[in-house]
Amino acid sequence: MPALLPGTATLGVLGGGQLGRMFVHAAQALGYRCIVLDPDAISPAGAVAEKHLKADYLDPLGLAQLARDCDAITTEFENVPAVALETLAGMRTVAPAAAAVAVCQDRAVEKAHFQAAGVPCAPHAVIRDEIELAAVDPALLPGILKTSRMGYDGKGQVRVGSREELATAWQDLQRVPCVLEQLLPLRAELSVLVARGADGQLVHYPVQQNLHRGGILAVTEVPAPDVPAEVQARAVAAARQVAEALAYVGVLCIEFFWLEDGRLVVNEMAPRPHNSGHWTMNGADVSQFELQVRALAGLPLPQPRQHSASLMLNLLGDLWFSTAGGPTPPAWDRVLALPGTHLHLYGKSDARHGRKMGHLNITADTPDAAHAVAVQAAALLGLPTDF
Cis geometry, peptide bond prior to residue 327 (ω within 30 degrees of 0): no
Give the pLDDT mean for 277-285. 98
pLDDT, residue 150, reads 77
pLDDT at 138: 94
For 373-383, the pLDDT digits (tens) are: 999 999 999 99
Supply the pLDDT for residue 155: 73
Q: Tell me if 235 sits within 8 A of 223, measured CB to CB.
A: no
Q: What is the pTM of this model?
A: 0.95
CA distance 122 to 181: 6
Q: What domains are there in the chain, each with its CATH number?
A: 10-94 (3.40.50.20), 123-182 (3.30.1490.20), 186-381 (3.30.470.20)
The 10s digit of each residue's pLDDT in 204-225 is 999 999 999 988 999 999 999 9
132-155: pLDDT as tens digits: 999 999 999 999 999 998 766 667
Buried/exposed 40-68: b ≥16 CB within 10 Å, e otherwise:
eeebbbbbbbebbbbbebebeebbebbbe
pLDDT at position 164 over 80? yes
Please give the Cα distance from 32 to 200 (Å, whole number).
23
Task: Give the 3-state secondary structure of residue 385.
Answer: coil
Neighbours of 18 (CB within 10 A): 25
Report the mean per-residue pLDDT for the chain: 95
